Amino acid sequence: MRVFKFGGASVKDAEGVKNLATVLKTTGYDNTLVVVSAMGKTTNAMERVIKNYFENKPELQSSIHDVIKYHNEILMDLFENEQHQVYGAVKSYFDELNRFLKSNKSPDYNYVYDQTIGFGELISTTIVSYYLNEIGLSNQWIDVREFIKTDNYYRRASVNWELTQEKITTGFNTSKLNLTQGFLGSDANNFTTTLGREGSDYTAAIFAYCLNADSVTIWKDVPGVLNADPRYFENAQLIHQISYREAIELAFYGATVIHPKTLQPMQRKEIPLYVKSFLNPQDKGTCVSKGRSLDPEIPCFIVKKNQTLISLSSLDFSYIVEENISDIFSLLHLYKMKVDVIQNSAISFSVCIDNLYDNLEKLLQHLKAKFNVTSYENVSLYTIRHYNETVIKELEKDKTVLLKQLTRETVQIVTK
């Protein structure tokens, strides 16, 4: 049993969907589960729909229409006969989306987000499934929400592993080519939940773990795991092999090629993970597997943009001790801040955070009741694994360094 995952870039248009089929024909598709994300930038477009629902109702239908138009263009490029039943199947999802937005009574943004955002995945997999069947690649479309069960922590749900294992073991036919959605699950009340942005990789790992899969392959528009994001760094190099441990470190610090949660279930069952190019499916790409000897010997660079650095000091120049730090982390947890770096001295404490839930102002007001607070928004966090002094100096050139922290293998630098 193999698990393949195709991200939004791989199915951003009709040619992408056709190329997905080519990859399956090239690599084989017996006993394969294919996990597919929303098409192109659909998740971003759906986030605009949600934003308009809460903040700009007059623009709501226009933003929904943009999503409909985008998918209809792909449909028309794939299916010339507009009477094909795929058109009705896709329309039914948009009808369901509109019914939800009209009938919803909940003011909870995170709940509404999860009930809305997943239509991107449901529609993309429906289109891909119908197309594969159309060209003779018989497949079974499955609703991932019937298999991956979670708590109700909307937008970042935790998997109920015992129930998920039971659902997959008893209800999954491994003899077919199966196709399902990434990113989604459901809670005890069968409301849709999401596993966090870029969570489709994690979906693939969950299925691989529960099915004891032979491997997982993540198909990307890059040749594999690179030592740096080519959008921000020149001369990025391909890493052919890497250990689970090193990949987990890179993912933890923000490397976007592999989702942070993806590697843990893979490591527990020693299931190899391949990262390969959907443009060149016969290339070897990168293999993530067991063995410290596989760690790269070159510096690896990660950058996270649009971060916030908060610096705190005590109001009376007293020490910031365990009690203060406990209070700070309680507030960070309360306002759902993702912590990327912390640094403290006797009377100061700095933390670099990702304001995922747009709660920064509430957090700052709460902190100002107990501390002197300075915040720097839209800063960049650079992480270098296996650094040397030369690459640090090159990175810091022409930048204002706000915070710098070194350990034996890793340096983190916050810049403005």
Residue 370 in tokens: 């107990």
Separation CA 373–CA 311 (nearest Å): 6
pLDDT for position 295 = 72
Tens place of pLDDT per residue across the chain (416 aa): 999 999 999 999 999 999 999 999 999 999 999 999 999 999 999 999 999 999 999 999 999 999 999 999 999 999 999 999 999 999 999 999 999 999 999 999 999 999 999 999 999 999 999 999 999 999 999 999 999 999 999 999 999 999 999 999 998 888 899 999 999 999 999 999 999 877 999 999 999 999 999 999 999 999 999 999 988 999 999 999 999 989 988 988 988 778 778 999 999 999 999 999 999 999 999 999 998 677 788 999 999 999 999 999 999 888 999 989 999 999 999 999 999 999 999 999 999 999 988 999 999 999 999 999 999 999 999 999 999 999 999 999 999 999 999 999 999 999 99
pLDDT for position 259 = 76
| Phi and psi, residue 340, nearest 5° | -110, -35
Q: Is the dihedral of CA 233, 239, 243, 244 positive or negative?
A: positive
Residue 332 in tokens: 């960070």
**Adjacent-strand bridge partners of 380:** 415
DSSP assignment of 172-235: --TTS-EEEESSEEE-TT--EEE--TTTHHHHHHHHHHHHT-SEEEEEESSSS-BSS-TTTSSS
**Adjacent-strand bridge partners of 379:** 307
Q: How many CB atoms are located within 10 Å of the residue 132 CB?
A: 21
The string over 181-193, giving b where at least 16 C-beta atoms fall within 10 Å of a residue's C-beta and e elsewhere, is bbbbbbbeeebbb
Angle between helices 119-134 and 60-78 (to 10 degrees): 10
pTM of the model: 0.85
pLDDT for position 105 = 97
| Phi and psi, residue 385, nearest 5° | -90, 140
pLDDT for position 296 = 82
Domain 2-220 belongs to what topology?
Carbamate kinase (3.40.1160)
Separation CA 96–CA 90 (nearest Å): 10
Q: Is 48 annotated as a binding residue?
A: no
Q: Where are the alpha helices (DSSP H) in 335-388?
A: 360-368
Residue 329 in tokens: 């982390």
| Domain 300-415: CATH class, spelled out | alpha beta
Nearest to 371 by CA among 316, 309, 308, 323: 316
Q: How many CB atoms are located within 10 Å of the residue 72 CB?
A: 15
Beta-sheet strands, E only, within 66-211: 140-141, 178-181, 184-186, 192-194
Query: Could you tell me whether strands 2-6 and 32-36 are parallel, antiparallel, or unpaired per DSSP bridges?
Result: parallel
List the chain domain ranges.
2-220, 300-415
| Phi and psi, residue 382, nearest 5° | -105, 135
Q: How many CA atoms lie within 13 A of 130 on its CB side?
A: 19
Q: Which residues contact 333 (CB under 8 A, 6 or more apart)?
A: none
pLDDT for position 412 = 98
CB 206 within 8 A of CB 169: no
The string over 84-122, giving b where at least 16 C-beta atoms fall within 10 Å of a residue's C-beta and e elsewhere, is eebbebbeebbeebeeebeeeeeeebbbbbbbbbbbbbb
Q: How many CB atoms are located within 10 Å of the residue 342 CB?
A: 16
CB 196 within 8 A of CB 260: no
